[in-house]
Structure 1
């Protein structure tokens, strides 16, 4: 999650979510359905597979010195696992030579959408490539069983879905104040999904994905105060300045801290609960940040002028009306 990303030459700070999923034995999967609790358009999705043709980006994402084999139509990453074993990952591109590899469907009108990734078509496409040649890279392609896909969601609906903002009631009387933002991230949380969607999933023989390992990284400006409200298995570091410019298609990214939460299956653990695959992931984070600009000062002037007109004994209803009008004017 890139939160309030400051970029040179861009007035409004960016916020978006990058998702990377490693899938084992992808040939056994028919479809992967990514359900979002908000309306999703094709313009809101950006395929990041092309960024993984750059070895520097690959090494940054996997935090390792990886091998990279590239072709015109596919590329393979070789990475070291935690068990000091080599794994090959075939990169899944959304824009294959096969139509309908991905599609977006609206589940509940205006409220939720799903991104459907068709692995059956992808498998047929890879099989057709494997039969075309006998060179080393093609032979390697035949033996790859794991796939990696990476994409970005950049939508204002995303912000509304997982972020909530709290600001002080007297903000118009201050040229600067501390605002609070709550990040509430949920994955595979069944109690947050509409019962009709769950029933339909059962009828379509759809299963919730289970995970061996989950990483959640929050990139937040370093002058903001991040308070952990849930799991404390967290590390923090500075974002490598300048190294992410190619990946982000921008320059000037700096003064950013990376908060890293990790949840994983502990194999051969004496606790049976730790051996089970991860079924869901929840994270609640409180972010305190300062807000100050000319708009706030101008709001203060207008607010004082309106209060002077209405009178010193302004009712709560009148204050709310003034706040509403000011939000319309200075949106």
Structure 2
């Protein structure tokens, strides 16, 4: 899995797919890579204790085709995060990212995720220790603040601290996280978005690479933020539920390379992967669940989803089911 060539993650981060628990696993990332050769992909969050204390090194497995790919770590102990980052570096990841944005109860109980917005000095210590252990970029994903914090006061302090520790790339989810009173799902929708603040931070920290995240559901919306001066855009749920809309034209429109990707061609390219993975013990639905939104908004999309949802878990189902489902889809040309 060790890569031979250094990848320019600053460039790749112009468009990235957010780390999403139970969604952006290795099957999902392989699928997304077929839609975009350029976008930066992230793992689900992996906790430092799981790697260092639990020796769950299988969580670091990925396919070489996924590059550029970043490992997101969760934790709050600098030494433990340093060791986890080292393991990620040895596995060949192109970037190590520290989660300072997840608001789930489990993350809070472990004193990491969004709760770290309250401890910028600790975050700086974590970054310094991680950077000492790896040669690749160490980055941060954060919120604009939590609970009663005033984002315009806390966020500049947070950015100053992590920059001083050597972090030059940060992705800012443009919402507060309410650690008490809102569920993780509600924290993705209810706190109001403050895109203007993220743009203000870019002007104030012009030497940092700043990406924006939160509420972006079209490629046009992502490109608009790039045109307004941000360095990158991270798309989450829209990239998962409508992957063709976000990723199929991304190489052309965001990176100026490649060509439009035909979702039917992507299905055909997935078939050898599906066969190989099933030969290693994977079950069809573990892979195809990530492909359900491939034809979203197109004629036949409902039949595609239904056939895969109902059939992929049945004993004996294999790549032929995916081909049969694709036959239900009409595939108009993707508009640029």
Q: TM-score, normalised by structure 2?
A: 0.26
Higher strand share: 1
Higher helix share: 2
Larger radius of gyration: 1
Higher RCO structure, 1 or 2 (CA under 8 Å, sep 6+): 1
Q: TM-score, normalised by structure 1?
A: 0.26
